[in-house]
Structure 1
């Protein structure tokens, strides 16, 4: 039985007119009339008395409850089958705010393209917040700086190094390197939550050097903007660059964080697929193409 023809039939019944029935069914009247005729031929009975209004024949009146029931059963069956479809596996991934966001987005975008059956949910937050969410089971994996306490459920991805960023016209801009002693009393802008801050503070304290902190930002992008504007100098990740600044190495600041994929014990299929995909990602190639801005 052709359900489209039954819909034509019910459209005429409910509107009382072939013209209005065609409008409801969103077809032309000749198309609807031809469909009703095919339905009548299939049933071997005339369903309507043709006239100024479409009146049901006795056969049409007997067929109407069956037609309505057929459409209702089809709607129920389609809804149940759709609900029975296997749900896409959800994978919740967090990544730290002080990492190269565009590169991580490219990684996750590539993974999503390679695994269209995976429902990917991403979250950008500070590393400490992501670690708590991971422990509480609110995310399945996270990309963040690793330390000695990270544990075995982790995969190292790349190393993040840091440079001194100064305005393009700064007195240090022509140099390739700088010493910590060179920074005494220079205007400095910082991001207090940055992963490099504890190591930098220890180094400054050990050499009794006190930079003049004149600004704070919530993101590395904010620090970069302040340096570009000539407000102060800053320690920034190596991947963050801009024509408006110059970068110098700080030989005494040897800290370089390992960035890795961390997951909860008992990894599932989605985490395993992400781990394998990330392990094959060419991070060295990405590092050869610095990101402008953040």
Structure 2
């Protein structure tokens, strides 16, 4: 059995189609079908139910899929680590969600660079959900994100629970709550801008889940491309939007920011790494995080 056979099988399972899998793998459909059949013959089991559209795995196929993913993940991790060890010039690829550029991520990266001049740092914008696959494939080594993710191959360390604020025009009727704060139940009838339009789950779905957790249903959620567009529209008097507290430093005109009183109204900031990664740069980046948080008088919490 070769690793490419496992990749073929995993791709067919995830795409639920031989045709789509062949396109993704850049091979012709007939050879892919033959390779899957050879794999079944070698294993002595049926991996897929015959004649189903979309393609469905058998019970044995589902079991084999879970272990095939682990094998491929561990192989990618081992390859990435071996290449890093043999490399004289070490490069750490850091994935991040764009909103963290308004938080403390730039200070953390700058301090890490100053302390580790022998390590090259490459920053790659990457949604939290996409960071899981990127870590498994070795495209990034660290991932700073905002969503609650769960994957057996990924270790997620919660760094901070950043409070959310409500951005409104300074003449909006809700601006009266700028000092006292506001509950989300008070805004369900408003036009609320939701962002971004990147593949879900994303920040928009995280905000929606907060409303759901509180038993609330906003009547008018308007999806826009990204946070700057949402805040620009709010500045024009079009509606309101929820933002991470750090994003209030963007400094857009005509806006005021209202504290949200619901305890559930926060955005988790986390660091994700490969579960078996013991690289020396991980404790180094954690040290930088702790120092920057301490300087900013933010409670340091690193929960695995």
Q: Quickly name the TM-score band, shorter chain normalised.
A: 0.5 to 0.7
Q: Which residue is equivalent to 1:278?
A: 289
Superposed displacement of residue 111, structure 1? 0.9
Take 1:236 and 1:125, find their aligned partners in 2: how far apart are those partners?
Answer: 19
Q: 1:139 to 1:153 in 2, by over 3 A?
A: same
Q: CA deviation at 1:283?
A: 5.5
In structure 2, relative to structure 1, the CA distance for the partners of 1:254 and 1:183 (3 Å cut) is: same
Give ranges in structure 1 of 5+ residues lacking alignment. Answer: 1-85, 289-294
Which runs of 5 or more structure 2 residues have no equivalent in the other structure?
1-86, 197-201, 300-304
Residue 172 of structure 2 corresponds to which residue in structure 1? 170
Q: Does 1:153 align with 2:155?
A: yes
Kindly tell me: are residues 170 and 125 of structure 1, through their superposed partners in 2, closer, same or farther at Cα, counting changes over 3 Å?
same
**1:3-58 deviation line (CA, Å, top 9, x unaligned):** xxxxxxxxxxxxxxxxxxxxxxxxxxxxxxxxxxxxxxxxxxxxxxxxxxxxxxxx
The aligned runs of 1:66-145 (5 Å cut-off) are: 87-101=88-102, 103-145=104-146
Q: 1:277 to 1:183 in 2, by over 3 A?
A: closer
TM-score by length of 1: 0.59
> Which SS does the other structure have where 1:226 is aligned?
helix
Tell whether the 8 Å contact from 1:92 to 1:140 is kept in structure 2 after alignment: yes
Mapping for residues 171-190 of structure 1, pairs under 5 Å: 171-175=173-177, 176-190=180-194
Shift of 1:113: 1.6
Structure 1 residues 90, 148: closer, same or farther in 2, change over 3 A?
A: closer
**Greater Rg by CA:** 1
- Deviation at residue 239 of structure 1 after TM alignment: 1.4
Rounded Cα–Cα distance in structure 2 between residues aligned with 1:91 and 1:238: 28
Aligned match of 2:257: 247
Q: Structure 1's 157 and 138: CA in aligned 2 closer, same or farther, altered over 3 A?
A: same
Q: 1:178 to 1:278 in 2, by over 3 A?
A: closer
Q: C-alpha root-mean-square deviation of aligned residues, in Å?
A: 2.8
How far did residue 148 of structure 1 move? 7.0
- Number of aligned positions between the proteins: 200
In 2, distance between residues paired with 1:232 and 1:273?
43
Matches within 5 A, 1:19-98: 87-98=88-99
Tell me: CA distance 1:150–1:279, structure 2 relative to 1, closer, same or farther (3 Å): farther
